[in-house]
Structure 1
Amino acid sequence: MKYVSFLKATNFVHNLLINRIPEGSTVIDGTMGNGYDTLFLHEQVGEEGVVYAFDIQKLALERTKEMLIENNIAIDSNRIRLIHDGHENIGQYVKEPISVAMFNLGYLPNGDKEIITQNSTTIQALSAALSLLQARGIISIVIYYGHIGGLEEKQRLMDYVNNLNSSEYTVMQCSYLNKEKNPPIIVLIEKNK
């Protein structure tokens, strides 16, 4: 069996969310990337749930389709909607309440490192996801910021979440203490009851 660290940022988030996604719910992968979160979300929502996955890069859609096919998942169903558009346009596609939204900020791994998430569109996307989030729903954000523009996005995003109304949302930050070179930061937002 292949060892996968529980403390790898994306694995950590998956383990936190695994029991928080009700079967049949609607969820969002705001940054499709290579499809790992899309696949994870699909496995959690079951036969009646819907996954909306967004990315501006055609390569991300292709890689995600490949991953889903490798896992014998029909990509032509309405249960997984791969959307070639920016996550700032979530509100144009998703109308129903969501239980979870996931974002991994930065650039597409093994892709064009010049194409990065931007603080303005990320905050728009987060605002849209928050407006759809049902009570006890969670948004996860993994902030990768060791690239040009990453520090600015991280700071703007942290300012935004620090100012969320504490009576409406609980915001938690998880970070690595002994890693060098801008280790990822995990932000979790739960909508209060």
Structure 2
Amino acid sequence: MLERVLPYAKSLAKDIVQPGDIVVDATCGNGHDTAFLAELTGPRGRVLSFDIQSQALENAKKRCHLLENIEFIPDSHANAEKYLEKGSIIKAAMFNLGYLPKGDKTVTTEYQSTISAIKKLFTRLDAGGRIIIVVYHGHPEGKIEKEALTEFLTRWPQKEAQILEYRFINQQNDAPYILCIEKSRK
């Protein structure tokens, strides 16, 4: 069976993240990816988990209360580089675009900060590392973000990265899909 979108996004991270790695959850939300990444990296690893909404961070902290290798950061993912130590390399970053499930649907990710974050995180990404993006485009801002991301990523130099799009084309209601940027090994 083909993997559904969210499990496949996790498998893209699981394939490459090792204990001790540094990873980023660019959109903390309710903490599902944060907890998943913290388990992959283990106690010697580090997870930087970003969200601009205090409710999201509180929800994630409750979910992850037993995990000690997480730094919850009340800031935009566009500022992630400020929280990485000089010279540190990340193995993966995960984004779930859109709005906080069961939260304020007027607060959404926006293409400007998402693209800025992708550019900055890519410079810190290890060779073979991945930026995994689940695109939710069933709302007005999501459609704008989807179009901007598609335009931006289709122009990415092939020598620098391979970019995957994983989607089911026969689903209704603007089903989410994955974009994955894998940094080339030089």
Partner of 1:149, secondary structure, is helix
Of the three residues 143, 147, 157, the one matched with 1:155 is 147
What's 2:23 paired with?
27
Whether the 8 Å CA contact 2:167–2:177 is kept in 1: the answer is yes
Whether the 8 Å CA contact 2:134–2:179 is kept in 1: the answer is yes
Deviation at 1:22, TM superposition (A): 1.6
Provide the aligned C-alpha RMSD in A: 1.3
Any residues of structure 2 matched to 1:73-112 within 5 Å, and which?
Answer: 73-74=67-68, 79-95=69-85, 96-112=88-104
Deviation at 1:9, TM superposition (A): 1.9
Name the count of aligned residue pairs: 183
Deviation at 1:170, TM superposition (A): 0.4
Partner of 2:72, secondary structure, is strand
Whether the 8 Å CA contact 2:38–2:67 is kept in 1: the answer is no
What's 1:140 paired with?
132
Partner of 2:64, secondary structure, is helix
Unaligned runs of 5+ in 1: none
Runs of 4+ in 1 over 3 A off after TM superposition: 5-8
What's 2:41 paired with?
45
Whether the 8 Å CA contact 2:127–2:184 is kept in 1: the answer is yes
Whether the 8 Å CA contact 2:12–2:132 is kept in 1: the answer is no
Partner of 1:172, secondary structure, is strand
In the superposition, the TM-score normalised over structure 1's length comes to 0.91
**Alpha-carbon distance in structure 1 between the residues aligned to 2:64 and 2:122:** 27
Deviation at 1:16, TM superposition (A): 2.6
Deviation at 1:62, TM superposition (A): 0.4
**Alpha-carbon distance in structure 2 between the residues aligned to 1:33 and 1:73:** 16
Whether the 8 Å CA contact 2:111–2:145 is kept in 1: the answer is yes
What's 2:107 paired with?
115
- Deviation per CA, 1:33-62, whole angstroms, max 9, x where unpaired? 000000000000112110000000000100
**Alpha-carbon distance in structure 1 between the residues aligned to 2:154 and 2:49:** 26
Deviation at 1:6, TM superposition (A): 7.3
- Deviation per CA, 1:77-127, whole angstroms, max 9, x where unpaired? xx2110000111011112311000000100000100000000101111111
One-letter identity of the residue aligned with 1:28: V
**Alpha-carbon distance in structure 1 between the residues aligned to 2:41 and 2:24:** 11
